[in-house]
């Protein structure tokens, strides 16, 4: 079963996350397929713009916590190897030599939020929700892009609380370019991709290079690399909250575990 679809229409490559029954949660197979799809788009001179989208009612609910719960406790070295693949594909998307657009609906959380932030532009339906709630069970962001997208103060707030924001708030914060009705999402994102694709490929690539180099001069890649090392240590550390979440996930399922996680904060993210 293919977990990532690839379709080229004119100068636009549509890369689709295709695991809707799991809200497109990221597992090792999907990450590997996404990496291959990005390589394909990068090497195709007919492609000028990459549109990242998803099947189903959610863009991506984050990393597959069910698999994580089944794995149990592993050491920092093993976590570093696992997380390196996740960081690599997100940074491949961020550094792709061609413009990228994320079309986001529903949940866009944790690793999914990082994929959206790695894209140059984000078009969201008004039912989209963004955030990195990992701190609520003793984890943290894998690819630390949020400070460069949102700035210092709001990043501290969102990463300390694990709060999730709606599409309108995400637009106000600068995470989203446009908010549209759900039925208009694919059309608006496609029209934006088509408009960008009118420019010469060389011009787009050099403009993208200038912009990525500007962020690299600010230390983005160094920050991401340092965070990877710390994330491996953080994820290997045991905490009562993490142990309880894994226990509930094993005994009663992931939905119950997430409900327990968020009920502690007086809210529910759904799922």
- pLDDT (tens digit, 9 = 90+) per residue, 59-103? 999 998 777 666 656 788 988 998 999 999 999 999 999 999 999
- Strands lying side by side in the sheet with 107-109: 107-109, 129-131, 164-166
DSSP tag of 251? H
Q: What is the pLDDT of residue 243?
A: 83
268 falls within a domain: no
Q: CB count, 10 Å around CB of 151?
A: 12
114 is catalytic: yes
103 falls within a domain: yes
Q: What is the pLDDT of residue 269?
A: 56
Pairing relationship of beta strands 121-125 and 178-180 according to DSSP bridges: parallel
148 falls within a domain: yes
- Encoded tokens for 17: 């996350």
Neighbouring residues of 43: CB distance < 8 A, sequence distance ≥ 6 = none
User: Does residue 271 have a pLDDT over 60?
Assistant: no
Strand, coil or helix: what is 219? coil
Quote the domain boundaries for residue 216. Answer: 4-263
Pairing relationship of beta strands 107-109 and 178-180 according to DSSP bridges: unpaired
Neighbouring residues of 162: CB distance < 8 A, sequence distance ≥ 6 = 131, 132, 133, 134, 135, 136, 265
- pLDDT (tens digit, 9 = 90+) per residue, 99-143? 999 999 999 999 999 999 999 999 999 999 999 998 988 888 999
What angle (nearest 5°) sits at the alpha carbon of residue 117, between those of residues 116 and 120?
A: 90
105 falls within a domain: yes
Q: What is the pLDDT of residue 73?
A: 67
- Encoded tokens for 63: 């990393």
From the number of C-beta atoms within 10 Å of its C-beta (0-12, 13-18, 19+), residue 56 rates as middle
Number of DSSP helices (H) and strands (E) in the chain, helices first = 12, 9
106 falls within a domain: yes
Average pLDDT of the segment spanning 149-157: 96
Q: What is the pLDDT of residue 259?
A: 87
CA distance 254 to 245: 9
216 is catalytic: no
* From 33, 68, 132, 134, the catalytic residue: 134
Counting the structural domains of the chain, the total is 1
- pLDDT (tens digit, 9 = 90+) per residue, 205-237? 999 999 999 999 999 999 999 999 999 998 888
pLDDT above 70: percentage of residues in the chain: 96
- Encoded tokens for 34: 């996404």
Q: CATH number, domain at 29? A: 3.90.226.10
Q: What is the pLDDT of residue 245?
A: 81
173 falls within a domain: yes
271 falls within a domain: no
Strand, coil or helix: what is 256? helix
Q: What is the pLDDT of residue 154?
A: 96
* From 33, 114, 132, 171, the catalytic residue: 114
- pLDDT (tens digit, 9 = 90+) per residue, 7-19? 999 999 999 999 9
Q: Report CA dihedral (210, 85, 124, 159) to the nearest 10 degrees.
A: -90
Q: What is the pLDDT of residue 266?
A: 80
22 falls within a domain: yes
């Amino acid at each position: 079963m293919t977990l990532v679809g690839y379709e080229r229409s004119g100068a636009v490559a549509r890369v689709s996350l295709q695991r809707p029954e799991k809200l497109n949660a990221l597992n090792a197979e999907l990450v590997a397929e996404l990496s291959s799809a990005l390589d394909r788009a990068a090497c195709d001179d007919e492609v000028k713009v990459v549109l990242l989208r998803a099947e189903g009612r959610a863009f991506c609910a984050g990393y597959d916590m069910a698999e994580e719960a089944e794995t149990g406790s592993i050491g920092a070295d093993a976590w570093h190897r696992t997380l390196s693949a996740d960081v690599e594909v997100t940074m491949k998307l961020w550094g792709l030599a061609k413009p990228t657009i994320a079309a986001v609906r529903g949940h866009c959380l944790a690793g999914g939020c990082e994929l959206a932030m790695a894209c140059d532009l984000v078009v969201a339906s008004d039912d989209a929700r963004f955030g990195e709630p990992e701190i609520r069970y003793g984890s943290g962001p894998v690819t630390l892009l949020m400070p460069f997208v949102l700035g210092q103060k709001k990043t501290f707030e969102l990463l300390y609380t694990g709060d999730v924001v709606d599409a309108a708030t995400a637009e106000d914060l600068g995470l989203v370019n446009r908010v549209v009705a759900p039925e208009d999402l694919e059309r608006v994102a496609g029209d934006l991709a088509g408009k960008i694709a009118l420019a010469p490929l060389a011009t787009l690539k050099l403009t993208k290079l200038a912009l990525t180099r500007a962020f690299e001069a600010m230390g983005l890649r160094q920050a991401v690399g340092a965070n990877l090392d710390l994330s491996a240590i953080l994820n290997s550390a045991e905490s009562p909250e993490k142990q309880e979440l894994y226990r509930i996930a094993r005994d009663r399922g992931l939905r119950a575990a997430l409900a327990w996680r968020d009920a502690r904060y007086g809210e529910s993210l759904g799922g």
